[in-house]
Amino acid sequence: MTPPDHPRAGIWLMPDNQVPGMLENFVSQLIPEGDPLKPIAEQTLNTIEVQNLNRYHAIHRPKALIHTWLAWQHMPGQPMGQSITSHVLHHNLPLANRFVAWMKKLFN
């Protein structure tokens, strides 16, 4: 129990509090299921990696994937948070709902 005069804090390990990853792994899971551009974005990254043209480190592949996919939307370059707000990314998926429930439990 946190004393009333101390702020509450919690740690959620991205992407799902279970496996290693980063924010972009979490956000990539908010891409609508069956989206036709996601496999093309993945193949594009595969192609440049096979040709050693990628300038990102392998650990940053999730960043390259989500930002490539976002670049192909109606508002290219829209930040991830705004892409959730504008419903380009889906917020009502199990992972997002678990994160929201965790935040509510922590701060309510």
- pLDDT tens digit string along 23-59? 999 999 999 999 999 999 999 999 999 999 999 999 9
pLDDT of residue 8: 84
pTM of the model as a whole: 0.84
Q: Is residue 18 part of a domain?
A: no
CA distance 90 to 20: 22
Given a cut of 90, whether residue 19 has pLDDT beyond it is: no
Q: Is residue 34 part of a domain?
A: no
81 beta partners: none
How many C-beta atoms surround the C-beta of residue 41 within 10 A?
21
Residue-number span of the structural domain to which 46 is assigned = 41-107
Q: Is residue 8 part of a domain?
A: no
* 25 token code pair: 């792994």
> Could you give the C-alpha distances from 11 to 17, 89, 108, in angstroms and in order?
9, 24, 16
23 beta partners: none
Closest of 92, 66, 101, 61 to residue 80, by C-alpha: 66
Mean of pLDDT values over 91-104: 88
Task: Please state the domain count of the chain.
Answer: 1
Mean per-residue pLDDT of the chain: 92
